[in-house]
Amino acid sequence: MNKLTLRLKEQPTVPLEAEVLSPDTFAELSNEEIRSKTVYHGKRQCRLDDFFDVDGERSDDVEIHGDLHRVRWIGREMSRGRITVHGSVGMHLGAYMKGGEIEVHGNASDWIGAEMRNGLIRVHGNGGGQIGAGYRGSLKGMRGGTIIVDGSAGLEVGMRMRRGMIVLGGPAKDFTGLQMKGGTIVLLAGAEIRTGAWMMRGTIISLKPIQMMPTFSYACRYTPDVLRVYSRRLKELGVSLPYAPQDGAYKLYSGDASVPGKGEILVWDALSA
């Protein structure tokens, strides 16, 4: 299928809510129909082509160019196809996503993949807070799929997530895995404080030492078999996760006792050469 290319031509002065930027919307539409789709510039209803040049039609392979840091809800609820962004994006990238792939060559903001069910989101720059989280009041965060952010992340990553995987290349801020109910968070560069606070279930893997909540207790030093599986899967995504016994092992902490929960935090403990 041919590519659909959008280029931001007019920088929004206030946030632009553009959930129409999704393969599901564009797959069956002509160029003219795509141009006339509604986006919300503050309270003003505008046409997509007030802000974007649109090249191509009827495609679920979407490429977007420009500084989109004010453009929110890209790929919301998308279930198929692909979005590639060359530039930074605003909040709620891929929120409620059901399938397909999003790749951002730039930074993204808060709520990446919030409450997503499936699909893959990859951000090569930094992410914001509440990645894969549940929106305020929701009982569950992401329920499936994978989010990889090469750079750093903000607060409450994976808050109340139920299933799926989040991988962070850079450091995360406080409350990573807050009230986690399942799924896996991989921290290649550690996190600030309160990691795994109020965890019920699920796994947080950190390759760097992290400050542990007082309500987590050290269980043992070992490498669970599942690490081998994760490692193989992550390798396909260009992330390497150590598991070989000659390199070291993981220190397992369990908690959070305040819930009381059965969450696990695994911290890589390398054998010194």
- Which residues are at the interface with other proteins (CB under 8 A)? 13-15, 17, 19, 38, 40, 42-45, 70, 73, 91-92, 95-96, 110-111, 129-130, 135-139, 174-175, 178, 194, 197-198, 213-215, 217, 256-258, 260
Helix %, strand %, coil % of the chain (to 5): 10, 35, 60
Least distance to other proteins from the beta carbon of 261, Å? 10
**For residues 134 and 164, which CB has a smaller minimum distance to other proteins in the complex?**
134
| Least distance in angstroms from the C-beta of 271 to other proteins | 26
204: number of CA atoms within 13 Å, CB side? 40
Closer to other proteins at the Cβ: 60 or 256?
Answer: 256
Closest listed residue to residue 82, CA positions, set 104, 65, 66, 113: 104
Q: What order do you get walking across the sheet with 16-17 strand by strand?
A: 44-47, 38-41, 16-17, 71-72
Q: Mark out the alpha helices in 143-257 (DSSP H runs).
A: 226-236
* Residue 138 beta carbon to other proteins: minimum distance, rounded to whole angstroms: 4
Which CB, 154 or 169, lies closer to other proteins? 154
Of the pair 98, 224, the CB lying nearest other proteins is at: 98
Angle at 28 between CA 23 and CA 34, to 5 degrees: 75
Minimal distance, residue 258 CB to other proteins, in Å: 4
